Structure 1
Amino acid sequence: MNFIKKNQSSEIQKNKYDTEVKLRNFAFMTTEELLSHLSVTQKGLTREEAESRQDEFGKNVITAGNKNTTLHRLLEAVINPFNIILLLITIITYITDVVLSSRPDYLTVTIILSLVVLSSLVAFVQSQRSNAAAEKLSNMISNKAEAWRDGKLTEILIDEVVPGDIVRLSAGDMLPADVRFLTAKDTFIAQSALTGESNPVEKFSDIRNQPSDGLTDLLNIGFMGSNVVSGSATAVVLVTGNHTYFGSMAKTLSNDRSKTSFERGVGSVSRLLVRMMLVMVPVIFLINGIAKGEWPNALLFAISIAVGLTPEMLPVIMTSTLAKGAVSMSKHKVIVRSLGAIQTFGEMDVLCTDKTGTLTEDKIVLERYMNLHGIDDARILRHAYLNSYFQTGLKNLIDLAIINRAEQYGLVDMLGNYTRVDEIPFDFTRRRMSVVLTDTTGKRQLITKGAVEEMIGISSFVEMDGKVLPMDEETKRAALAVYEKHNADGLRIIAVAQKNEVPESGAFSVADERDMVLIGFVGFLDPPKKSAKSAIVALREHGVRTVVLTGDSEGVALKVCSKVGVNTSHLLTGRDVEQMDDAQLLDAVKTCNLFSKLSPSQKERIVKAFQTAGHTVGYMGDGINDAPALRQADVGISVDSAVDIAKETADIILLKKDLMVLEEGVIEGRRTFGNIVKYIKMAASGNFGNMISVIVASIFLPFLPMLPVQILTQNLLCDFAQMGMAFDSVDDEYVKKPRRWETKSIKSFMAYMGPLSSVFDILCFAVMWWLIGANTVELSPLFQCGWFVFGTVSQVLVIHMIRTSKIPFLQSNPSIPLLVSTFAVAFIALGVGFSSIAVGIDMMPLPTSFIPWLVLILAGYCLFAQLIKKIYVKQYGEWL
């Protein structure tokens, strides 16, 4: 094994080295040498060339380290702690029952293997179903790239990108492969996934590399797995898929994600059950061996008890329930990227969300274009239009609103009079973007638009009444008064500025955005969604607090939030957050539900503060500025129309940007969690009770209370009964509040329900011994049949007692699958116990005189279970 691992490690290192050498060679080639080497021109590839290269290089996907294969899912279904225990028991049983026995008996071995095959098969089928559903929906949210094909800029799926493709990149884009930049304008790349660097790195098109630079320090090379934070660029694709630097590292980067609280909880209960079994089974073996003197039978009995105590259906129930949850959520247009996120979704008690498109219609309409007196002025619209039209970066909803309005007013004709010289792209630090234009007379002009405060910060002049005046306190106050008035009315305001003193040549940069002339404002309206208020109320009723984190100004945020039911009595801005230390922010998040004018890092910091306060936080966002907060949140939520990096970071993708969809997902997450907890509490308490019963029986009975083959048959029947639990309904009261994993709750539940089942097991022993008369070794098959029937039917009934805090069937109905699985097993157990079929597993058929006693004991068990339930709820406040 070590040898294989060393070979794999050396192969990974070799692939990584080869990739580094190749990329380094590309970095130091001239542009002409590079394009010639890749057999491509600046116009890109033809469709035929692209198809030929895809045949040669394959799809642009990373398969190394990919665990989502059919073989991996099959191995995951088969290899788990419980199946391993059962397989070890099978080997021991085969040796004792077949190899060392004078009369080989394959029945016990067959039943144990049937348990393994059954649990593995169900787990695998459910996993396949879940994967198929996820893949089907994932096709709807595939990330795309813009590449030059047949001389035109074409949008293609990222997995269709091939070496030699010329791609255009702008803010928010994921790098589709390893690339060499051909042009770059203020292009900053976040490559922390590869290097761990928190700060974005600026990239350039010319060769500024030093031979001593590390691979990720090469300034003209971009890597798959990184994303554009700001700026724009064109690049040529060098290598794709497994041949990329990220692909060469995939196996070393594909470490398992950290486990959620739920997975840790399930693991702790699994270990508890296994420890109980490992301790109690030897005790049972010794008691029976010493008391009865039949050590071989005692060993077989102990082995059978081990099988009975092994919750082999736990992986099945978990996989089935989570898969059902994923499929159910997909019907509500919610794509779950990892099954574990379902439960975290249900555990969420704070939802942090951006405002635009979630609380609003995401249909921004240009309402006002006004000068600094607040009077509509077509010149302001004209300047805003030139800025939005000629910028080559990501055209957001504001740009599109400006362009649409300008086209309605016939301003398209003037575009022919201007030529774009350069641009200074938008970023979330400056919160503005600029274009440099030249007109037909040769006059140059810099036009900038952006957030009002940032624009005032770079303006030295204002234009009022056709005159350019210095910006002093009076003119600044007048301009801000117009802004604040319309902002308070709910308009989202951006400022427009320009200047004519522009250098004749050379590249333009942020340094040129100074001494601007502020000329006016453009105002937009993004009306609140009709469904937003009811969705926030519904989330609140289900214990989820909605907190708005927005980059918008206070006025717009207040107006929208007050209309949709978010508490706006306490508002903090990004400036306020910046001045707070962690302790102050921790105190602030207790009451504040609206944070405005936030930077990306501030959003991330607020999410972290909520987590520190003990909340499970969901974050919903779709922009580049949301990526840090999405990563930080316990569950990241995005939409299919989001920028690439937001979709890549999110755990859950919505195909419909609506909080109502979220509320449905939260409820489904809690239902999923509830059904898993039902099984775990039932298995834990049932196993604990069985141990007590077996120890009591082993001490006082002159024979085994049940033979190994009978225990295994009973176990098989009970497993069938429990399979319906994954599809059970959950009481409305249960999904009303967030649910967290509580291991202590499992232990206290065991302490109450375990001994209760033992009491009624012992009552069954008493009835069989004194009233039915099965009190000799010769009549032990009759005694064993009585406990077999009672044990099976009581375990079936207790499923219905445990599944709800209410009175089963009267106040809470189970799902049809659970009803069918449980009652079918109960009828089979009764049919076996009261007929000659019992002889087939070494039992004697029960007399009809046992029926009233069976009904009485079962009724008593259900009655006392309901009574214990009330005591437990009074003590702990909840049942499940």
Structure 2
Amino acid sequence: MRFLTGKLKDTQQMKNRLFKEEEIRNFAFLKEEELFLLLSAKKTGLTESEAEERLEEFGPNVITAGKKDTALHRLREAVINPFNVILLIIAAVTYFTDVLASSKPDYLTVGIIVGLVVLSSLVAFIQSQRSNAAAEQLTQMISNKADVWRDGVLTEIPMSEVVPGDVVQLSAGHMLPADVRFLTTKDTFLAQAALTGESAPVEKFSHGDNSPKDALTDLKNIGFMGSNVVSGSAGAIVLMTGNSTFFGSMAQSLSGDRAKTSFERGVDSVSGLLVRMMLIMVPIVFLINGVAKGDWAGALLFSFSIAVGLTPEMLPMIMTSTLAKGAVSMSKHKVIVRTLGAIQTFGEMDILCTDKTGTLTEDKVVLEKYMDIRGVDDTRILRHAFLNSYFQTGLKNLIDLAIINRAELNGLNDILESYHRVDEIPFDFARRRMSVVLSDRLGKLQLITKGAVEEMLEACSFMEMNGEVLPMDEETRNIAMATYNKYNAEGLRMIAVAQKNEVPGVGTFGVADEQDMVLIGFVGFLDPPKESAGAAVSALLEHGVRTVVLTGDSEGVAAKVCKKVGVDVDHILTGRDVEAMTDEALFEAVKACNLFAKLSPSQKERVVKTFQSAGHTVGYMGDGINDAPALHQADVGISVESAVDIAKETADIILLEKDLMVLEEGVIEGRRTFGNIIKYIKMAASGNFGNMISVILASLFLPFLPMLPVQILTQNLLCDFSQMGIPFDRVDKEYLKKPHKWETKSIKTFMGFFGPLSSIFDLLCFGVMWWAVGANKLELSPLFQCGWFVFGTVSQVLVIHMIRTEKLPFIQSVPSLPLLISTCIVAALALGIGFSGFGVGFDMRPLPLIFIPWLVALLAGYLICVQILKKVYIKRYKEWM
């Protein structure tokens, strides 16, 4: 039946998707007047009141398909899980044996078990709600924006508030906020890889010369949510938003979850290990007790209880709470985590690849020089650069803004009235240049281009020197390169400027027109290093993170900045070097090279991938369109709040402040978070393994059960509550000094060391109860069980403080107050149950006072042995947590 239901659901989703595709296709072939009429919109945009009404009607512009993280879902997760199912099965069996099949119905055990389910579910739900609220609050701190026309004014609004009928303005770096039809386009290229898988950008047009046979994503005048503008600019009208978009319909039909991180795989492997051990041990315990004691019903209940006691049921709650607490702490350091799972990867990072501009430098580019080919100051060069930067319609970067600011200071604004833009050839990362075609008042056309020096020289056949236009030969080229190299070595970022008068009077201009140009000079920029950058690079290195610079800048400028901030530049590779290298050669090169210059976006991505193949956990920090592939490839993508939309959307972590020092604080918090999670896992794994050994040995030699099911469950719940302070615990400074990877082998080794030790002291406790206290008869089994209950609970609580640090607990390393309180309360409760009449409710007999010195001796001996064994373990394996 479930199969048929799933098939019907899939069929309905497919019908919905096909309907949406047909609806979008119809929009592509409408005349513009019909389109505006159908959408009840106009070219000047919606009014605020119209937008509010539509937001109410269509809902927020967000994809919610398949979203499960609701309060109801979290409640279901808290109540219905394998651990609670086992408890409820035990409750059902106990109800049958203690109530229905008993001459004296006893509801106490059943009530306690059901109470345990309610209590543990309530705690898990409350913690989950708090964690989700924290994550939601952080997510709201960063959001992508859209430029829309409202009341005839271009206004920036959150993407979630975009509605059908909105007229949006798009430029390079923007994400498409919804499914749109283009109204105006200018060299508009979109990356649609998220929808089609094609890496090459596609050009879009407003005229929409479409064919009915075109695939949906090939429609020339339609753009889809999930795409981003690579270059050019456009105006468009919103057709559909949220789940009604093509991307939304795809999301509804997608099945399966994203790939798990190394941390999640590690948690799964440990949980799987414990479950496998449980599946092996529990039947053994059942058979031993059934055969030895003849009570098969009791043996069944006991083995079920052991299953619960051996399962790390608090792991999801501990992990989520710790990650949420870490995310909140990181936000105080101006680091916003978009996905909680990225925190651990952030702490694990040992290679940070970063762009130079704005991270190592002040991000305040200043135009320092404008010069001719020989390096002589020439205002005419500034004039041409100004015209190029002002009239280009794409995303104006820091260089464009620096040129415009300097031109305004020099009083060049008046020249703008003499020109108008005819066309432009947008920037791309293959050509590394951009051009505008301008017409003056006399109708004379002129092509003005600026870009990276080497790429510009390839497009130039002539050079202007001393007022003369000369052919570019080896001599003139050397003169230009000497000027470029001189200022580049001084730390100026050099951009070449060229122009061309012989351009066709009609037609569309393209890359083919960028040839036989005249190189007229250079503009040089200074982006000084940040004062904090050197200290940040040094601090990251002290914490085991190597900083590697991947930049599109020339090697001269990059090397100058890197030297000043302490990045080793003994080995430098350029994009051309990387392109010529085999994968094996690059694998060897990344071992020593910390500066890669003049890289294209795909080369940045390749370098990141090579570091990963060398076994490193790589973070990539970037904020531009060219950084998106590397951000996606990195183990943890890091961007800034001021980044272009596509960079922010790709990143896992957003910095509210573009500073490596902020990043270092985040790295430390990530390691603190991971350290607290690994504490719980190692405690649970070693403790559960020791309990397995103890239970099997006790079942072999005792004439009664070492503990009743209700006692095991109560002890398990108390121990779980004692560990609720772990997310708030301190982590030793020494642990934070280097990155830590998830090592399942290390956890198995830890189990093998400390599990058997706890079993040895359990056996000593059995001996004390049997011979010293005299609980060696069947009728005295409640007394024996009470003794092991108290020792087992208190010892598990106290050992938390031994395992949480490699140092001497309380003296060299003090726990956090929440952990101290939670462990003290649980220890007091266990002692109160054991030495008072309250234990009778759990089928236990109060312990005699003679047991107190034995208990103290056992606990002291156990903790001393743990500390000694800890030293042996650290000496042998050179690690602790």
Q: With the length of structure 1 as denominator, give the TM-score of the two structures.
A: 0.97
Aligned pairs for 1:631-646 (under 5 A) are 631-646=632-647
Mean CA deviation greater in 154-163 or 321-330: 154-163
* Deviation of 1:842 (Å): 2.3
Any conservation in 2 of the 1:119–1:312 contact (CA below 8 Å)? no
What residue is the counterpart of 2:599 in the other structure?
Answer: 598
Any conservation in 1 of the 2:90–2:301 contact (CA below 8 Å)? no
Mean CA deviation greater in 842-851 or 27-36: 27-36
Q: Are positions 1:608 and 2:599 aligned together?
A: no
Over the matched positions of the two proteins, sequence identity in percent amounts to 75
What residue is the counterpart of 1:628 in the other structure?
Answer: 629
Q: Give the Cα–Cα distance (whole angstroms) in 1 for the partners of residues 600 and 756 of structure 2.
A: 57
Structure 1 residues 216-250: Cα deviation after superposition (integer angstroms, max 9, x where no partner): 12122111111111222222222211111111111
Any conservation in 1 of the 2:138–2:337 contact (CA below 8 Å)? no
What residue is the counterpart of 1:848 in the other structure?
Answer: 849
Structure 1, unaligned runs of 5 or more: none
Q: Are positions 1:750 and 2:740 aligned together?
A: no
Q: Are positions 1:318 and 2:319 aligned together?
A: yes
Paired residue secondary structure (1:441): coil
What residue is the counterpart of 2:805 in the other structure?
Answer: 804
Mean CA deviation greater in 447-456 or 294-303: 294-303
Q: Give the Cα–Cα distance (whole angstroms) in 2 for the partners of residues 735 and 108 of structure 1.
A: 46
Structure 1 residues 733-773: Cα deviation after superposition (integer angstroms, max 9, x where no partner): 11211111111111111111111011111111111211222
1:517 partner amino acid? V
What residue is the counterpart of 2:359 in the other structure?
Answer: 358
What residue is the counterpart of 1:561 in the other structure?
Answer: 562
What residue is the counterpart of 1:177 in the other structure?
Answer: 178
* Deviation of 1:34 (Å): 2.6
Paired residue secondary structure (1:518): strand
What residue is the counterpart of 2:432 in the other structure?
Answer: 431
Q: Per the alignment, do residues 496 and 24 of structure 1 end up closer, same or farther by CA in structure 2, a change over 3 Å counting?
A: same
Paired residue secondary structure (1:360): coil
What residue is the counterpart of 2:150 in the other structure?
Answer: 149
Structure 2, unaligned runs of 5 or more: none
What residue is the counterpart of 1:17 in the other structure?
Answer: 18
Any conservation in 2 of the 1:142–1:157 contact (CA below 8 Å)? yes
Q: Give the Cα–Cα distance (whole angstroms) in 1 for the partners of residues 654 and 102 of structure 2.
A: 59
What residue is the counterpart of 1:517 in the other structure?
Answer: 518
Paired residue secondary structure (1:169): strand
What residue is the counterpart of 1:109 in the other structure?
Answer: 110
What residue is the counterpart of 1:123 in the other structure?
Answer: 124
What residue is the counterpart of 1:793 in the other structure?
Answer: 794
Structure 1 residues 21-73: Cα deviation after superposition (integer angstroms, max 9, x where no partner): 11111222233333333333333333333333333322222222223322233
Q: Per the alignment, do residues 405 and 269 of structure 1 end up closer, same or farther by CA in structure 2, a change over 3 Å counting?
A: same
* Deviation of 1:458 (Å): 1.0
Q: Per the alignment, do residues 715 and 216 of structure 1 end up closer, same or farther by CA in structure 2, a change over 3 Å counting?
A: same
Q: Per the alignment, do residues 40 and 843 of structure 1 end up closer, same or farther by CA in structure 2, a change over 3 Å counting?
A: closer
Mean CA deviation greater in 454-463 or 113-122: 113-122
**4+ residue segments displaced more than 6 Å:** none
Aligned pairs for 1:719-798 (under 5 A) are 719-798=720-799
Structure 1 residues 485-525: Cα deviation after superposition (integer angstroms, max 9, x where no partner): 11111111111111222222222222222221111111111
Q: Per the alignment, do residues 662 and 83 of structure 1 end up closer, same or farther by CA in structure 2, a change over 3 Å counting?
A: farther
What residue is the counterpart of 1:543 in the other structure?
Answer: 544
* Deviation of 1:284 (Å): 1.6
Mean CA deviation greater in 356-365 or 370-379: 370-379
Q: Give the Cα–Cα distance (whole angstroms) in 2 for the partners of residues 113 and 338 of structure 1.
A: 35
2:351 partner amino acid? V
Q: Give the Cα–Cα distance (whole angstroms) in 2 for the partners of residues 307 and 635 of structure 1.
A: 36
Q: Give the Cα–Cα distance (whole angstroms) in 2 for the partners of residues 616 and 174 of structure 1.
A: 28
Aligned pairs for 1:393-432 (under 5 A) are 393-432=394-433
Any conservation in 1 of the 2:694–2:762 contact (CA below 8 Å)? yes
Q: Give the Cα–Cα distance (whole angstroms) in 1 for the partners of residues 341 and 119 of structure 2.
A: 23
* Deviation of 1:864 (Å): 0.8
Q: Give the Cα–Cα distance (whole angstroms) in 1 for the partners of residues 317 and 105 of structure 2.
A: 32
Mean CA deviation greater in 743-752 or 287-296: 287-296
Q: Per the alignment, do residues 47 and 798 of structure 1 end up closer, same or farther by CA in structure 2, a change over 3 Å counting?
A: same
Structure 1 residues 633-661: Cα deviation after superposition (integer angstroms, max 9, x where no partner): 11111111111111111111111111112
Q: With the length of structure 2 as denominator, give the TM-score of the two structures.
A: 0.97
Aligned pairs for 1:165-564 (under 5 A) are 165-253=166-254, 255-564=256-565
Q: Give the Cα–Cα distance (whole angstroms) in 2 for the partners of residues 245 and 104 of structure 1.
A: 62
Q: Per the alignment, do residues 129 and 473 of structure 1 end up closer, same or farther by CA in structure 2, a change over 3 Å counting?
A: same
* Deviation of 1:526 (Å): 0.8
What residue is the counterpart of 1:618 in the other structure?
Answer: 619
Q: Per the alignment, do residues 345 and 109 of structure 1 end up closer, same or farther by CA in structure 2, a change over 3 Å counting?
A: farther
Q: Give the Cα–Cα distance (whole angstroms) in 1 for the partners of residues 295 and 433 of structure 2.
A: 86
2:754 partner amino acid? M
Q: Give the Cα–Cα distance (whole angstroms) in 1 for the partners of residues 614 and 866 of structure 2.
A: 38
Q: Give the Cα–Cα distance (whole angstroms) in 2 for the partners of residues 101 and 632 of structure 1.
A: 64
Mean CA deviation greater in 128-137 or 473-482: 128-137
Q: Per the alignment, do residues 204 and 6 of structure 1 end up closer, same or farther by CA in structure 2, a change over 3 Å counting?
A: same
Paired residue secondary structure (1:225): coil
Any conservation in 2 of the 1:83–1:312 contact (CA below 8 Å)? no
Q: Per the alignment, do residues 110 and 591 of structure 1 end up closer, same or farther by CA in structure 2, a change over 3 Å counting?
A: farther
Any conservation in 2 of the 1:718–1:792 contact (CA below 8 Å)? yes
Q: Per the alignment, do residues 288 and 668 of structure 1 end up closer, same or farther by CA in structure 2, a change over 3 Å counting?
A: same
Any conservation in 2 of the 1:352–1:620 contact (CA below 8 Å)? yes
Q: Per the alignment, do residues 301 and 624 of structure 1 end up closer, same or farther by CA in structure 2, a change over 3 Å counting?
A: same
Paired residue secondary structure (2:427): strand
Any conservation in 2 of the 1:45–1:149 contact (CA below 8 Å)? yes
Any conservation in 2 of the 1:140–1:640 contact (CA below 8 Å)? no
What residue is the counterpart of 1:59 in the other structure?
Answer: 60
Any conservation in 1 of the 2:631–2:638 contact (CA below 8 Å)? yes
Paired residue secondary structure (1:64): coil
Paired residue secondary structure (2:43): coil
Q: Give the Cα–Cα distance (whole angstroms) in 2 for the partners of residues 604 and 151 of structure 1.
A: 42
* Deviation of 1:560 (Å): 0.6
Paired residue secondary structure (1:463): strand
1:20 partner amino acid? E
2:220 partner amino acid? L
Structure 1 residues 141-163: Cα deviation after superposition (integer angstroms, max 9, x where no partner): 21111222233322222122222
1:788 partner amino acid? F
Structure 1 residues 375-430: Cα deviation after superposition (integer angstroms, max 9, x where no partner): 22111111111111111110111111111111122222222222122211111111
1:170 partner amino acid? S
Q: Per the alignment, do residues 303 and 134 of structure 1 end up closer, same or farther by CA in structure 2, a change over 3 Å counting?
A: closer
* Deviation of 1:254 (Å): 6.0
Q: Give the Cα–Cα distance (whole angstroms) in 1 for the partners of residues 780 and 89 of structure 2.
A: 33
Any conservation in 1 of the 2:62–2:242 contact (CA below 8 Å)? yes
CA RMSD of aligned residues (A): 1.7
Aligned pairs for 1:54-93 (under 5 A) are 54-93=55-94
Q: Per the alignment, do residues 125 and 840 of structure 1 end up closer, same or farther by CA in structure 2, a change over 3 Å counting?
A: closer
Structure 1 residues 121-171: Cα deviation after superposition (integer angstroms, max 9, x where no partner): 333333332332333233332111122223332222212222222222211
Q: Give the Cα–Cα distance (whole angstroms) in 1 for the partners of residues 641 and 77 of structure 2.
A: 30
Paired residue secondary structure (1:405): helix
What residue is the counterpart of 1:826 in the other structure?
Answer: 827
Aligned pairs for 1:664-675 (under 5 A) are 664-675=665-676
Q: Give the Cα–Cα distance (whole angstroms) in 2 for the partners of residues 336 and 532 of structure 1.
A: 22
* Deviation of 1:367 (Å): 0.9
Paired residue secondary structure (2:199): coil
Any conservation in 1 of the 2:336–2:656 contact (CA below 8 Å)? yes
Q: Give the Cα–Cα distance (whole angstroms) in 2 for the partners of residues 485 and 79 of structure 1.
A: 70
1:690 partner amino acid? N
* Deviation of 1:784 (Å): 1.8
Q: Per the alignment, do residues 17 and 847 of structure 1 end up closer, same or farther by CA in structure 2, a change over 3 Å counting?
A: same
Any conservation in 2 of the 1:89–1:307 contact (CA below 8 Å)? no
Paired residue secondary structure (1:494): strand
Q: How many residues align?
A: 880
